[in-house]
Structure 1
Amino acid sequence: MSGIHFFEKGNGQPLVLIHGFCETGKMWEDFSEKLSKEFRVICPDLPGFGDSPISGDKISLEEVSVILEDWLESNRIENPIVIGHSLGGYVSLALLELMGNRIKAIGLFHSTAFPDDADKKEMRNRTIAFLKNNGVEKFVTSFVPPLFPENRRAELSREIESAIEDAKRSSLNGLVAYSAAMRDRKDRVEVLRNFSGPKLLIAGTEDGAVKIESSRAQKDAFSSYAELEGVGHMGMVEERQKTLEIVRNFCISAL
């Protein structure tokens, strides 16, 4: 068994929603409630986050994809649509490379198929050092707010506080392991291009984690591309209804 904790709602075509760094499957509660009227929506906690354990402080995205493949098989989740936010998008791409056309469609939510550049790799190294020196709580309270546009942080203060509380459920081992896994991940643009199924990218023009220039540079690898004006890294919170409709329409078109 995979040891993956998850919740699911609804019936029909499986739709797997994968959370990002410092998040858990709980972030998808609202999306899963709405989408479960038409799909079987499954929301896992990645190993090291929420209620899914991790062994040690090292893991690769390839290892995560093998764990998820086992979890999918164990729970009879066949031919799923897989949509991942940020780190969840990197995991989704690794899973796509492993499973190929056993995945029906893939969506990246504020994520990228490109690897980290030198500056981003250095930032990951600083993150690892900070985590080891200061722990989870101090890290997440400084990490989460900048994911939202500065001019909307007061308006979204309740949502930000909720995201911080969810992030505190991350394990130190998990945060260290995935910081290194993201730093060391490979370029998967060709994996994406070679996939014949539907492919979605949702990008925010104010995203500080995945720059809009990066999203625009790979948009031709996707069959569907949505650019959200004034949105940061958390479009599912900042523009809940708009992004929900984008995801719903994409999933329906993939059937």
Structure 2
Amino acid sequence: MNLIARDIIPGPIGPALLLLHAYPFDHRMWLPTVDRLAGVPILLVDAPGFGESEPSVDTPSLDAFADEIVAGLGKFGVERIVPVGNSMGGYVALALLERHPDLVAGLGMIGTRADADSVDAKAGRFENLVTMLAGRREELLTPQVEAMFTDSTRRARPEVVAQAVEWSKDASDAGLSWAQRAMAARPDRLHLLTEFNKPVLVMRGDSDNVSPAEASVAMAQAAGTEVVEVHQTSHLVPIENPGAVSRHLMTLYPQCM
């Protein structure tokens, strides 16, 4: 597993922000945000089959991925984390909270949801998988990625969208398969936010057409907080508006010390 540290120095430190990427990307989607978080201990990670992480040979599982992340913390001396996930990354963040609650000092849920897939959503994942395995992954993935941005970004900043499309092309077939199967198998974890009495950031783009507003509202209500809506932004908030993400993470982080 590829786990990358930034601004983590030997000796006692506060919690590290653990930035968890969306599907179908890798840790690079967080780099525009990381550049704005100078001095904050940060860990970046690639899911199995994405970025520099080897594909998993085991049953696809977000829980197993969460356990693997925790197993890798020791070499950096990190004892507490603030998982911050976009989309699929949010599902991993909740798996970490459920399985390793003593490590979690706070939580960031960005363009994501806490409930399980519906029957239709699961069916859609497997339809996507069949299409990709039939050799048509690019004709499927590229429109999906482009649709994760607002019309204004596609018009005014086409280079941002093009970069995201290029990142998606780097994902391995094994990684895409692992992610779709692992996400389809995840349970409903909304109750964890009701029981979690530490700082939580719930953020979404106001034009997000992937994770609906009601999913964010449900998480915020469970956590006793408010939804932060980012103007003229869609599903991939850390790519489309890294400035907004970094500002709110710089507010969240001191509360988690």
TM-score normalised over the length of structure 2: 0.91
The aligned residue for residue 227 of structure 1 is: 229
SS at match of 1:34: coil
Distance 1:100 1:50 in 2: 27
Map 1:150-169; keep pairs closer than 5 Å: 150-169=151-170
Residue 13 (structure 2) pairs with residue 16 (structure 1):
no
Q: How far apart, in 1, do the equivalents of 2:204 and 2:220 lie? A: 10
Equivalent in 244, 247, 254 of residue 246 of structure 2 = 244
**Cα shift at 1:240:** 2.5
Which residue in the other structure is 1:36 paired with? 38
Contact 1:16 1:43 in 2 (8 A): yes
Most deviating of 134-143 and 161-170: 134-143
Cα distance between partner residues in 1 of 2:128 and 2:75: 34
1:9-38 C-alpha deviation (Å, 9 max, x unpaired): 21443111111111111111122222132x
CA distance in 1, matches of 2:219, 2:89: 18
> For residues 33 and 189 of structure 1, what CA distance do their matches in structure 2 show?
31
Higher relative contact order (CA 8 A, sep 6+): 2
Question: Equivalent pairs: percent with the same residue?
Answer: 25
Q: In structure 2, do the counterparts of structure 1 residues 126 and 158 end up closer, same or farther at CA, with 3 Å as the change threshold? A: same
Deviation at 1:207, TM superposition (A): 0.9
Distance 2:123 2:230 in 1: 28
* Alpha-carbon contact 2:56-2:178 (below 8 Å) kept: no
Give the whole-Å Cα distance in 1 for the aligned partners of 2:79 and 2:182: 26
Q: Does 1:194 align with 2:169?
A: no
Distance in 2 separating the partners of 1:189 and 1:161: 34
Q: Offset of 1:243 from its aligned partner?
A: 2.2
Q: How does 1:1-255 map to 2 (within 5 A)?
A: 4-11=1-8, 12-13=13-14, 14-37=16-39, 39-56=40-57, 58-134=59-135, 136-224=137-225, 225-255=227-257
Q: Secondary structure at the match of 2:204?
A: strand
* Aligned AA (2:41): R
| Structure 1 counterpart SS, 2:155 | coil
Q: Residues 56-105 of structure 1: CA distance to partner in whole angstroms, max 9, x if unpaired?
A: 48411111111111112343221111101110110110011110122111
Q: Distance in 2 between matches of 1:233 and 1:154?
A: 17
SS at match of 1:226: strand
How many Å separate the matches in 2 of 1:192 and 1:73? 26
Deviations 1:169-227 (A, max 9, x none): 21111111111211121000112221222111111222111011221233212244312
Counterpart amino acid of residue 25 in structure 1 = H
Asked if structure 2 preserves the Cα contact closer than 8 Å seen for 1:9 and 1:33, the reply is no
Q: Is the deviation greater in 78-87 or in 150-159?
A: 150-159
Q: Which runs of 5+ in 2 are unaligned?
A: none
The 10-residue stretch of structure 1 (92-101 or 10-19) with the greater mean CA deviation from structure 2: 10-19
Residues 232 and 238 of structure 1: CA distance in aligned 2, closer, same or farther (over 3 Å): same
Asked whether the 8 Å contact 1:204–1:227 carries over to 2, the reply is: yes
Provide structure 1 residue ranges, at least 5 long, that are not aligned to the other structure: none
State the number of aligned residues. 251
Alpha-carbon distance, 1:135 to partner: 5.0
Describe the SS at the equivalent of 2:215: helix
Secondary structure class of the residue paired with 1:59: coil
Any conservation in 2 of the 1:135–1:172 contact (CA below 8 Å)? no
Tell which deviates more after alignment, 94-103 or 27-36: 27-36
After superposition, the CA RMSD in angstroms is 1.8
CA distance in 2, matches of 1:219, 1:162: 31
Q: Does the 8 Å contact 1:209/1:233 carry over to 2?
A: yes
State the one-letter code of the partner of 2:34.
S
